[in-house]
Structure 1
Amino acid sequence: MPENFIDLGTVDAPSGVLVLGMAGWVDHWREVGQPLSERAGAVAASGGGHFHEGWLCEAVAVPAAADRPLEVRATTSPSPFDEEPAIATLEIGLGLPWPGAADRSTPVRLGDLPVDRCGTVIGDATGLDAWTGMNGEPADGLADVFYWGRYADDAHAEFGGGRIAQYGVDGPHGWLDLPLAEAAARAAELTAWCDRLHGRGLVVSVDQHTDDHRFRRAGWHHPLRAGTIEVGGCRVLGVEWDQGDHSMRHRGERDAGQVYPVTLEADGAGGTVMRWTVPPYDFDEDE
């Protein structure tokens, strides 16, 4: 039975090295020694494989065409959390021919990866050296402000702020794309107002436009929470995993043995693809 793939977008790899890795730790590589691009380049030079740093951050690197967009697709299976479609296979076309002497029927195993609670990224190894994590500084000097909780309607009557739709539903109230100083001042006003009148009952969040936040925001309106952003001059694709699905299928990650194989495989046109395969959840077994 043929697989039904969904197009997620394209990435590019001008350095000739493509990385599939844990989003929560991309900026950690440069803090522990060699930059991500150097580690990934060495691995890709040997044909591709898995590498890690203390199992906190993990990735797989492979050679890829440097002169064209690389298509990213996915298949889905029902989530055990809500039975909505969740990613079962990520496939990235590498723009390279399958080696002539290699057996087309046998996948080449590169290693395995956990589903990082903080998300997954696919992008150019050198471009990802520029990634700004959760505590980084936004290059554009902007931030988004959100508020929610028991007194959100009262706060809206006082301060305004639109409903920010996320994942097919109305999200929290807030404002997008504010200068950092204005975002901080608005959050301080909301917090002071709630403290003065209620003491508690309102949560206020300021999300600076780091790459960590931007990739999540890019996936707000995609059914599989996937979106593309530019990082280091390269097009990068990120996937934010549903937290309910993660808790039921992937919780514990590598420590709990929740890791899934990454392979190189031949496609139907004689090209090479990288696949990360998350087995479908077996509803019958748990019932």
Structure 2
Amino acid sequence: MAETFVDLGFVTAPSGVLVLGMAGWVDYWRELGQPLSERAGAAAASGGGHLRDWLCEAVAVPAAGNGPLLVRARTSPSPFDEEPTIATLEVGLGVPWPETADRSVPVRLGDLPVDRCGMVVGDAVGLDAWTGMNDESADGLADLTYWGRYADDAHAQFGGERIAQYGCEGPHGWLDLPLDEAAARAAELTAWRDRLHGRGLMVSVDEHTDFYRFRRAGWHHPLHVGAIEVGGCRVLGVDWDQGDHSIRHRGERAAGQVYPVTLEADEADAAGGTVLRWTIPPYGFDDEDEDE
């Protein structure tokens, strides 16, 4: 399968600083003593750079704050299931390439692992408001889903719609329930399962945090990409197929599975703009032999 370019949508960066970072850790930056926006702003002021604190990682760069920034991807087939996966993620920054810099030489900012919980692209200040997987619902709502061996029996008893997702039927459940109602229905399902079967039915209540909302926004996209609003800014989230992640990116930074992030001249831009590019090399099965 040949590599192809895909338009993923756009983001906004009114602060003038764009971040590409690990979605599972966005909310932890502030817990480590300094907001993401302050760290990112300092890196962008020097032309861009890599940020790392404990398990949190991101890259921050200067970007135009007065309009949409296009995000694109080059795809290649996954060694896991041959479905298209992201090989290159590219963001048009809307700022000119420096006149004194060689347009043929990329500027390396560092490298990033592929977070199994996904990646985010968005405004540094907007992401300070990000609610993570352990935070409270942003709108007082939650989704309730259930699946497993006795899902059909549970559906006959309790109902619930089939929540379709790309490439699969998806679980049964209800979307956008008030938190109290979601908790009550989950308790009914769990009590029914324990009374009749003991096991064989999984029940999940997912509160509407930003972390959950970006994953939900990508349910129907072949690359698991979805856009949401965070802190008044449009943010793009990229989820990862867990099977593909386990083959191509397992172990993340601890296992040396990191990929270069660069600033490059945009050859497709007649005005001489700059792009942020994250490049994930094709997977080689020979790599496993070398590791053994």
Task: Give the TM-score range, shorter chain.
Answer: over 0.9
Aligned to 1:68: 67
**What is the DSSP-based 3-state SS (H/G/I as helix, E as strand, rest coil) of the residue aligned with 2:115?**
coil
User: Would the aligned equivalents of 2:4 and 2:76 in 1 still touch at CA under 8 Å?
Assistant: no
Aligned to 1:43: 43
Counterparts in 2 of 1:155 and 1:3: CA distance versus 1, 3 Å: closer
- Does residue 1:272 correspond to 2:274, yes or no? yes
Aligned to 2:217: 218
Distance of 1:162 and 1:50 partners within structure 2 = 44
Aligned to 1:144: 143
User: Would the aligned equivalents of 2:3 and 2:76 in 1 still touch at CA under 8 Å?
Assistant: no
- Does residue 1:22 correspond to 2:22, yes or no? yes
User: Would the aligned equivalents of 1:77 and 1:281 in 2 still touch at CA under 8 Å?
Assistant: no
User: Would the aligned equivalents of 1:10 and 1:69 in 2 still touch at CA under 8 Å?
Assistant: yes
Q: Deviations over 1:182-232 (max 9, x none)?
A: 100110010011111111111100000001100000100001000100000
Shift of 1:124: 0.2
RMSD: 1.3
Deviation >6 Å, runs of 4+: 284-287
Aligned to 1:240: 239
Q: Deviations over 1:50-89 (max 9, x none)?
A: 01112x0100000000001000000011111011110000
Equivalence map 1:244-255=2 (5 Å) = 244-255=243-254
Shift of 1:168: 2.5
Unaligned runs of 5+ in 1: none
Distance of 1:211 and 1:82 partners within structure 2 = 29
Shift of 1:266: 0.5
Equivalence map 1:172-251=2 (5 Å) = 172-251=171-250
State TM-score, norm by structure 1: 0.97
Amino acid at match of 1:151: Y
User: Would the aligned equivalents of 1:23 and 1:120 in 2 still touch at CA under 8 Å?
Assistant: yes
Distance of 2:86 and 2:142 partners within structure 1 = 29
Distance of 1:139 and 1:118 partners within structure 2 = 19
**What is the DSSP-based 3-state SS (H/G/I as helix, E as strand, rest coil) of the residue aligned with 1:104?**
coil
User: Would the aligned equivalents of 2:3 and 2:75 in 1 still touch at CA under 8 Å?
Assistant: no
Aligned to 2:34: 34
Aligned to 1:7: 7
**What is the DSSP-based 3-state SS (H/G/I as helix, E as strand, rest coil) of the residue aligned with 1:26?**
helix
Length, aligned pairs only: 285
Aligned to 1:281: 283
Equivalence map 1:158-173=2 (5 Å) = 158-173=157-172
User: Would the aligned equivalents of 2:8 and 2:72 in 1 still touch at CA under 8 Å?
Assistant: yes
Q: Give identity over the alignment, percent.
A: 81
User: Would the aligned equivalents of 1:78 and 1:281 in 2 still touch at CA under 8 Å?
Assistant: no
Shift of 1:96: 0.5
- Does residue 1:127 correspond to 2:114, yes or no? no
Distance of 2:215 and 2:71 partners within structure 1 = 17
Distance of 1:40 and 1:49 partners within structure 2 = 8
State TM-score, norm by structure 2: 0.95
Unaligned runs of 5+ in 2: none
Counterparts in 2 of 1:134 and 1:201: CA distance versus 1, 3 Å: same
Shift of 1:283: 4.8
User: Would the aligned equivalents of 2:64 and 2:93 in 1 still touch at CA under 8 Å?
Assistant: yes
